[in-house]
Amino acid sequence: MLVTQEFTIKVDGNTILNDLTLEYGPGVHIIMGPNGVGKSTFAHALMGNPNYETEGAVEFNGKDLLSMETYERARAGLFISFQTPTPIEGLSNFQFIKQAMTSLEKNQSIKENLSNFRESANDLGLGSEWDKKTLNVEASGGEKKKNELIQLDMLDPQTAILDEPDSGLDIDAIKVLVEKLRAFVNKGDKTLIIVSHYAELITKLNPDTLTILDKQGNAKQTEDIQIAYDILENGFNG
Amino acid sequence: MAELEYNLKELRNFFDSGIRFNNLMNESSPMHDVAKECYASLLKQNPIDNKFYKNMQLNTLNNHLNLGKVNSTGNVSKHVDDDYDILIDDGLISINPDSRYNYIEMRSGLKPKNIKELNLLSVDKRNNGLNLYQPYLKPTGRLSDIAVIHSLNPVGYKISPDTDLESSILYADKFADEDLSCNLVIVDIGARSNVNISEFIQSKNGTKIIKVLYLIRDNATLTIDRSFDLDNKDDSLCILESNFVQFPGSTLNVQTQSEGNKYNQDLMFIDVYKDCNTDIKGCHYLYENNKNNCVVNVHHKGPNSTSKVDVRSVLEDNAFSSFLGEIKVDKIAEGVDADLTNKNLLCSSKATAFTEPQLDINTKEITCSHGCTISNIDKEHLYYLNSRGIDNVAGGDMIKQCFLTQ
């Protein structure tokens, strides 16, 4: 369960999002909003990105999230997929996931890890040598997004915040994405928070709540998912 | 036995004083003529004052006092270095009795097997031909000239043509004293040979100057994996100058790694003729007060050759690094493809890195690129790793490792 209480996010002293009081329990939650309102900022502020100043309170499974360092938040079960995943020269995809698995104390043998990695990569249509490719360097935009999904698959967090996971994916990959996200949620006691404006994704995931961020930096959370479709049809001003 | 303390700047006053029976004093030395030339050059300008060293913190080297013992008998350490095929020190070269290049027969006095493939060069062998290498050892105005003047004798090894060979070389500290150690070494790789050498530079409690001349004959391939001693760094000052001559069609691959030491220079000067390939890689992880100075000078003297230089350093604490990368392309060297990269990652506010590329291109018909950077750990990289549960220590180590080995 992720609960924010009067959560405010600032950058260089400028308020981006203001007094957000939101609740994300097990299930699927959608976040929508016009470009530039701070959807990614919200996600990364929860993850503890040092570029953001925060006020208020955020509780994650009963613990004070804001008192934790970023790596501690990840170890507590929080995951964020990046809209533009960071490339790191000299680090292979598999080396990265292997180290992450170790840090999160997901005790698997290297052989098992590699096998699972390759299976996940194969499901997403990535080549057989994907484990050897350099992390987010030798990759198209869509492939980088797929890489994030492999990490979600393997790290299996308790709460995942996915920032536009559908962007850059082709139709076949979207199908796999939906399958993987459904499988994730169906494990039970998982929270999935998705920033998306993709109707098909919203329909297929059947979300429990919708959060709308506006240009004034405010947020409204509702269980009325029909609002999402109204926005998709008429726009945010409609 | 009288003792003499001196620094490198003062050394030129003692070359002909009898402190050592060096190449200059020894008229029978195969390097006597070129030693005289180097000495004359050094008297005109002390290499300590050479502007070539302007960014290399030479004071550390020059402030060190070498302790020479006049009329010393030069006791040689009897420690046997088991892990190496060939051991080299000033005027000394020997093959490890347990090496594959020596067999039981050697212990009983018979000739070693494979003598045709690898021939040691030393003055105690008749017709060693060492004097024929003098034209490659002309004065440079650099500290390596001291090795030509002041070493006891040149040594080296020659690989026969059409030979495939692997060997490990130890540049040792057999004398185990605190005097300046000078090594002058010749490595002659025969035509069409394929030679892999691993070199280990042992630390010395004091200053060591090593000058190595590598001749890579036509269509030969020389691969060197060079590493510097990780022990006794605090007392070790080392100047290693490697001069490579790549004959047409040859290939040179060098991988060098170190953690620096009290003072280290790893200098490479490479003359590249036509249709050659040159690949130089350096990885240096420097911490505490360690210093490391790299020079890679590639001179393309013939057409259609390629060269790639990639030297990287990670610096922590108060470490110091300098890099001078030079590419020179002669007018006749058309079709050359040259690339020079030096990257430095500063992980401490007190670490210092200098990087300087120099290009001297005298023809238009080439491809030449260079990139020299100094950066800090990218906070976005660290954040990405943190977001996957990897803490700052493990994440920092990963980033540094990737930086060095990418």
A133-152 residue pLDDT tens:
999 997 888 889 899 999 99
Mean pLDDT of B340-350: 96
How far apart are the CA of A157 and the nearest CA of chain B, in angstroms?
Answer: 10
8 A C-beta contact, residue B342 and residue B373: yes
Pairwise pLDDT comparison (A167 vs A98), residue with the higher score:
A98
Amino acid sitting at position B405: T
pLDDT mean across residues, chain B: 90
Question: CB-based contact (8 Å) between A75 and chain B?
Answer: yes
In chain B, positions 322-381, which contact chain A (CB-CB < 8 Å)? 379-381
pLDDT classification of A202: cutoffs 50, 70, 90: confident
Task: List CB contacts (< 8 A) between B379 and chain A.
Answer: 50
- B71 burial (CB, 10 Å; 0-12 / 13-18 / 19+) is exposed
Question: Range with the lowest mean pLDDT among A17-26, A193-202, B111-120, B263-272?
Answer: B111-120
Is the pLDDT assigned to residue B51 strictly greater than 70? yes
CA distance B386 to chain A (A): 4
Q: Which chain B residue lies closest to A155 (C-alpha atoms)?
A: B388
Q: Is the dihedral of CA B40, B43, B48, B50 positive or negative?
A: negative
Provide the terminal-to-terminal Cα distance of chain B, rounded to the nearest Å: 53
How many Å separate Cα B367 from the centre of its chain? 28
CB B86 within 8 A of CB B95: yes
H helices of A76-214, in order, are: 93-103, 110-123, 141-155, 171-186, 199-205
Q: How far apart, in whole angstroms, are the C-alpha atoms of residue B182 and residue B179?
A: 10
Return d(Cα A230, Cα A234) in angstroms, integer. 6
Smallest CA–CA separation between A106 and chain B, in Å?
11
Contact (CB<8Å) A48/B392: no
Best of B375, B384, B392, B399 to mutate (most A CBs within 10 Å, chain A): B384
**Angle in degrees, CA A35, A37, A39, rounded to 5:** 90
Question: Given a cut of 90, is residue B70 above it in pLDDT?
Answer: no
* B386 with A151: Cβ contact below 8 A: no
Q: How far is B255 from chain A (nearest CA, A)?
A: 17
Taking residues B324-348, report their average pLDDT: 96
| pLDDT at A176 > cutoff 50 | yes
Question: Touching check for A189 and chain B: CB below 8 Å?
Answer: no
Residue A99 at interface with chain B, using a CB cutoff of 8 Å = yes
ipTM for the predicted complex comes to: 0.95
Q: Distance between CA B328 and CA B403 in Å, rounded?
A: 27
Residue-wise pLDDT for A81-94, tens only, equals 998 899 999 999 99
* Closest residue in chain A to residue B380, using alpha carbons only: A86
For the cut 70, the answer to whether the pLDDT of residue B113 exceeds it is no
pLDDT per residue over B210-233, tens digit each? 999 999 999 999 999 999 998 888
Predicted local confidence at residue B79, as pLDDT: 54
Task: Give the pairing type, strands B92-95 and B86-89.
Answer: antiparallel
